[in-house]
Amino acid sequence: MSGKCKHGSDEKGVSRRGFLATVGAAPMAAGILEQTKPAPAPQPTKVPEPVKAVLKVNGRSVKVQVEPRETLLSVLREKLGLTGTKPGCESGECGACTVLIDGVPKYSCLMLALEAEGHDITTIEGLMKGEALGVVQKAFVEEDAMQCGYCTPGQVMAAEGLVRANPDPNLDEIRLAMSGNLCRCGVYDHIFKAVRRAAAAKRAGGVS
């Protein structure tokens, strides 16, 4: 007799089926062992050191220590005390944090403070003359263009940017310019009237 059985095994060795089963189990065992190894410890994230920045805010140059990751919104509120600029969604959706950058409305939550260096920054506080309201602020009061008031500073800054660029906007232009600022109380009709009143006052010789 040859010593091999009909299933392909010999009397002293391993069957072909047994060999294949052993070889197939080896990677599985290795994978199980790999999964049981402890995960490497997470490495601590290094926070960048603050740097000195000079920001021109409401006509004054101010020196401030700024972390590279800090937004203009947080620096205005927390380091310069200009709390009229409001945090809302902080993702560029609501407009509560609107300020003027070189006269153009911008969301301060989407701008790094360091990006604002070298530019003119105007906040809601910068529209006042002492205790007197600016033209746009006064128009919002006169037209009762607010309810809870939280979005109002951003609305005023968007309106200010519009009437500076366009002294005589029509209703469609006003709606477009104010579309990036949400009012959860829904007083849009009063807001549009306030913008038209402000534009008329500026044309008549009013100033911010």
Sheet of strand 51-57: strand arrangement: 60-66, 51-57, 120-122, 98-101, 104-107
Q: Which helix (H) or strand (E) segment is 101 a member of?
A: strand 98-101
Residue 149 counted as domain residue: yes
For residue 83, what is the domain's CATH number?
A: 3.10.20.30
Out of 28-42, 78-92, 101-115, pick the least confident.
28-42
Residue 17 counted as domain residue: no
Q: Answer yes or no: do 206 and 170 share one domain.
A: yes
Question: From CA 186, how far away is CA 146, in angstroms rounded?
Answer: 9
Q: Answer yes or no: do 118 and 183 share one domain.
A: no
Q: Answer yes or no: do 119 and 140 share one domain.
A: no
Q: Answer yes or no: do 190 and 202 share one domain.
A: yes
**pLDDT, tens only, 125-143:** 999 999 999 999 999 999 9
Q: Answer yes or no: do 139 and 183 share one domain.
A: yes
For 151-162, letters b (16+ CB in 10 Å) and e give: bbbbbbbbbbbb
For residue 146, what is the domain's CATH number?
A: 1.10.150.120
Q: Answer yes or no: do 85 and 144 share one domain.
A: no
- pLDDT score recorded for residue 32: 54
pTM over 0.85: no
Question: From CA 182, how far away is CA 151, in angstroms rounded?
Answer: 7
Asked if the model's pLDDT at residue 19 lies above 50, the reply is no
Q: Answer yes or no: do 132 and 121 share one domain.
A: no
Contact status, residue 207 vs residue 127, Cβ threshold 8 Å? no
**pLDDT, tens only, 160-169:** 999 999 999 9
Specify the number of domains making up the chain: 2
**pLDDT, tens only, 22-62:** 555 555 555 555 556 677 777 777 777 899 999 999 999 99
- pLDDT score recorded for residue 122: 98
pLDDT-derived band at 20 (thresholds 50, 70, 90) equals: very low
- pLDDT score recorded for residue 29: 53
Nearest-10 Cα torsion for 155, 208, 124, 181: 10
Residue 181 counted as domain residue: yes
- pLDDT score recorded for residue 43: 75
Domain that holds residue 81: 48-125
Q: Answer yes or no: do 207 and 177 share one domain.
A: yes
- pLDDT score recorded for residue 46: 74
Asked if the model's pLDDT at residue 18 lies above 90, the reply is no
Question: From CA 34, how far away is CA 27, in angstroms rounded?
Answer: 10
Q: Answer yes or no: do 132 and 208 share one domain.
A: yes
- pLDDT score recorded for residue 21: 52
Last-in-domain residue among 108, 125, 142: 125
Instruction: State the chain's mean pLDDT as an integer.
Output: 87
Asked if the model's pLDDT at residue 112 lies above 70, the reply is yes
Asked if the model's pLDDT at residue 73 lies above 70, the reply is yes
Asked if the model's pLDDT at residue 116 lies above 60, the reply is yes
Q: Answer yes or no: do 105 and 136 share one domain.
A: no
Question: From CA 112, how far away is CA 2, in angstroms rounded?
Answer: 84
